[in-house]
Structure 1
Amino acid sequence: MVVRRMQEKRNWAWRFAEPIVRGALFATTTHEWVGGENIPASGGCIIVLNHVSHVDPLLAAHLVYDHGRLPHYLAKSGLFKNKGLAYFLTAAGQIPVERLSRNAAGAFDAAVAAVREGKCVVVYPEGTITRDPGGWPMTGKSGAARIALETGCPVIPVGQWGAQQLLAPYAKRPDFFPRKKVTMLVGEPIDLADLAAEPRSMPVIQRATDRIMAAVTALVEEVRGEQAPAERFDMRKAGVRETGNPNKPEHQTPREEPS
């Protein structure tokens, strides 16, 4: 495992959080980082990962931090409703996102600005914890692709597995013991150069999104030693709402009837 010394300037928020988060993760998990040298040592970039647990952001932050970068997340706006937490998250450079809202455009602009400032932005392109019954990556949202096409920055895919054993999707209590092994496999940058040269049409953005999800899925297959379903899970087709706990009845929507 390649570990780089932190080059970026850390403010009080990072100095406060880093030992707490690192200590908690070392107490509850073991980890294996593979391919971390693919994370750029400097300059704006996007890290894209599959999403299997609410603890994913902490583990991804551990990965990125171990390779000398400070992670900047597109975090759901609800986390910013608490004034104290909002103060901390803002100080740490996190970006609020109002999902399924027109205001999400502001998050896109902020993410683009962060990348252009040379920051490392972490994106979960599925937009939420996977609803796939086998835990595989779902169809992706367009945010990561749009940021990448707008900035031309490197897009680094990561396939990860194991966090769901520490905290299962939408579980209220974590399972601390025994310590859970988390593996993160970092792939080479995704080549989007041919698409960046084309107009920003929806078909082009969709092709970039599909390419991103294919790269992430291939890494998850390698980590798990299994083959993903031929067709990625689509929440809309399955009649599952895109926010909230899908296991609760109020979060089910009628399936689309064939026309």
Structure 2
Amino acid sequence: MAELVYRPVIGAALTLFKALDLKIDCQGSENIPRSGGAVLVSNHIGYLDFVFNGLAARPQQRLVRFMAKESVFRHKVSGPLMRAMKHIPVDRKQGEHAYAHALDSLRSGEIIGVFPEATISQSFTLKSFKSGAARLAQEAGVPIIPMAVWGTQRLWTKGRPRNFKRDHIPITIRVGEAVEAPRDQYAGAITRRLRDRVQELLEAAQRAYPVRPKGPDDTWWLPAHLGGTAPTPAEVKAAEAH
């Protein structure tokens, strides 16, 4: 079936990125299978992460169906687009419906995109992973493809205004080799192994990132352990509890 919306949206995104003069460095796309189902798993640091995750699959001529919170599908602009691109709404009160939808899609040969942290990490470090991605891969009998993005938080992230100026912001993407999800293994163990792999890819993306903060007022996008002024995971947790 022709993708009457998804491919034009990709074209529009690429045009925007060219206008913004984004410097996109993507390595490892060959690890995304050219056919068959797979679960694509990424860290989550900005609202546009799913766009760059999807671009990583473009060299393999694959389209990724992302699981996203249901409220995005109720928006008058994003809602019709998300449905037309066959993304999957997640109602956290009735998650079993989204899970069943994703499972059917995997079995039909689709790539499903999952953010196992479930929300944007305001510390820009990895939060704990939920086990849904591992369970989906196990039940569908498909591999998990780990990846990491870096720099996307500088465009648009939680608690910060959008930055769609022509600032030549670099975006670094690293895609890793598949993590297998045997049915006879505990999903929690697969999830821990998966998180470790995403952490390795994130650190590789951070090392490869070509710019550093321009001054004291430009350190917000770096995590505290790298010398930035982003809140620590403990500070984020305390603020959320409050």
The 3-state SS of whatever aligns with 1:160 is: strand
| 8 A contact 2:39–2:111 mirrored in 1 | yes
* Aligned residues between the structures: 222
Determine if the alignment matches structure 1 residue 49 to structure 2 residue 51. Answer: no
Distance 1:177 1:25 in 2: 9
Kindly provide the amino acid, as one letter, of the partner of residue 25 in structure 1: F
Kindly provide the amino acid, as one letter, of the partner of residue 220 in structure 1: L
Distance 2:75 2:236 in 1: 32
Q: Which residue does the alignment assign to 1:126?
A: 117
Q: What are the superposed Cα offsets for residues 42-74 of structure 1, whole Å, 9 maximum, x if unpaired? A: 100111111110111111122222331011000
| 8 A contact 1:183–1:223 mirrored in 2 | yes
How is 1:144-155 mapped onto 2 (pairs within 5 angstroms)? Answer: 144-155=133-144
| 8 A contact 2:103–2:136 mirrored in 1 | yes
Q: What are the superposed Cα offsets for residues 141-181 of structure 1, whole Å, 9 maximum, x if unpaired? A: 12111101111201010022111122243323225232111
Q: Which residue does the alignment assign to 2:194?
A: 212
Cα separation, partners in 2 of 1:223 and 1:83, compared to 1, 3 Å: closer
Runs of 4 or more, structure 1, over 4 Å off, are: none
| 8 A contact 2:102–2:112 mirrored in 1 | yes
Kindly provide the amino acid, as one letter, of the partner of residue 115 in structure 2: Y
TM-score between both structures, scaled by the size of structure 1: 0.77
How is 1:58-137 mapped onto 2 (pairs within 5 angstroms)? Answer: 58-82=51-75, 85-99=78-92, 101=93, 103-131=94-122, 133=123, 135-137=124-126
| 8 A contact 1:125–1:141 mirrored in 2 | yes
2:4 is matched with which residue: 12, 17, 30? Answer: 12
1:222 offset after TM fit, Å?
1.4
Q: Which residue does the alignment assign to 1:197?
A: 184
1:83 offset after TM fit, Å?
5.4
Determine if the alignment matches structure 1 residue 36 to structure 2 residue 23. Answer: no
Q: Which residue does the alignment assign to 1:23?
A: 15
Distance 1:181 1:83 in 2: 31
Kindly provide the amino acid, as one letter, of the partner of residue 13 in structure 2: V
Q: What are the superposed Cα offsets for residues 78-130 of structure 1, whole Å, 9 maximum, x if unpaired? A: 0121356433322211100013x2x1111011111100000011111111111
Distance 1:213 1:41 in 2: 24
Give the CA RMSD over aligned residues: 2.6
| 8 A contact 2:142–2:181 mirrored in 1 | no
Determine if the alignment matches structure 1 residue 253 to structure 2 residue 241. Answer: yes
| 8 A contact 1:65–1:71 mirrored in 2 | no
Determine if the alignment matches structure 1 residue 165 to structure 2 residue 157. Answer: no
| 8 A contact 1:54–1:170 mirrored in 2 | no
| 8 A contact 2:66–2:113 mirrored in 1 | yes
